[in-house]
Amino acid sequence: MITDELALLYPGYAAEDDYPRLAAMMSPPVSFRVIHTSLGDSGDAHTVEALRDMGAAQRLADGVASLSSTTASVVWACTSGSFVYGWQGAHQQVEELADVSGLPASSASLAFAHALDSMKLRRVAVAATYPEDVTKFFVQFLRDGGFEVVSASVADVMTATSAGQLGDDVVTAMVCGVDYSDAEAVLVPDTALHTIAVLAKLELAVGKPVLTANQVCAWEAMRLAGIKGHADAGRLFARRS
């Protein structure tokens, strides 16, 4: 019987259906609850200004107001809306989220770092949907966390809505196109991108772990709640994390 609810604060609407898709694959069962947070005047644009507004403390606090009494953990499920604050700023963001929610809290950006640490991986390639200036923030975030970025690509997808409409073939091309022989894993940082259904295919194509934003957010929510589970959703979940 599922008793704990794992909350994902998700900005707008794009690929939030990845979470119930993953929940249906998980053993033992888990319960992910997506809470949609508000967007500012710039909407879901992949610009630094819009992303900082998206991750503002009040927007996250407003999302926390919708948590239930059975919520066991909360994750800010927006990678770009956390890494644009930098390594220290992203930590401060989740500290404030933990304070206002009274729960173990994290973000998509920190989930990537924790997943890499868990798998003992340091050298990565980054397949980003964002424009170049936003992608640079993620690369720097990873470097500040002690990781080596050996390659990175940009796709210049200008909104989360547009990213959510990209097909599996585009995602596969992005991952294969950025893979580099020295990379121990390929990271796909956009929670607006559908990836759960193709994770096994992606890892088979590059022969190494592929970590995607919705995947690591779910893993992080489970880790914070002390829930172990596995699914056919990449090597991260094959490890009974």
Domains of the chain: 5-238 (3.40.50.12500)
User: pLDDT of the chain along its 241 residues, tens only?
Assistant: 455 899 999 999 999 999 999 999 999 889 999 999 999 999 899 999 999 999 999 999 999 999 988 999 999 999 999 999 999 999 999 999 999 999 999 999 999 999 999 999 999 999 999 999 999 999 999 999 999 999 999 999 999 999 999 999 999 999 999 999 999 999 999 999 999 999 999 999 999 999 999 999 999 999 999 998 889 899 999 865 4
- Tokens at 237, concatenated: 């979940």
Assessment of whether the complete model's pTM goes beyond 0.85: yes
Nearest alpha carbon to residue 70 among 225, 230, 235, 192: 225
H or E segment to which residue 201 belongs = helix 199-206
CA distance 224 to 147: 22
Residues 228, 232, 233, 237: is their CA dihedral positive or negative?
positive
CA distance 82 to 64: 16
State the distance between the two ends of the chain, measured CA to CA, in whole angstroms: 20
